[in-house]
Amino acid sequence: MHLKAIAIKERLLGADDYEVALSVGHLASLYNYDMNKYDEAERLYLRSITIGWLEPFFIHSACYLTDHLTDCCYARYY
């Protein structure tokens, strides 16, 4: 469902739109917290940051999530 929403938003709004960045970030959270797909989550978090780099609030939120993701990745090795 998230992938379909991202595809629709990219088609209608463009791949660099803030709404696309939010949807990509939401999918990253799903992969990280619910599916334990940490590598894919990190890739999506970084993509969402790249898309939304002009939005100060979005950058702050994405950086917080990326820092948390890093903590989760380290935790899985212990």
**CA 76 to CA 40: how far, in whole Å?**
15
Q: Which structure tokens are listed for 77?
A: 């090795």
Of the candidates 15, 3, 12, 16, the one whose C-alpha atom is nearest the C-alpha of residue 52 is 16
pLDDT at 78 > cutoff 50 = no
Q: What is the pLDDT of residues 20-74, one digit of tens each?
A: 999 999 999 999 999 999 999 999 999 999 886 655 555 555 555 556 555 555 4
Query: Tokens 């938003």 map to which residue?
Result: 9
Q: Give pTM, 2 decimals.
A: 0.67
pLDDT at 19 over 70: yes
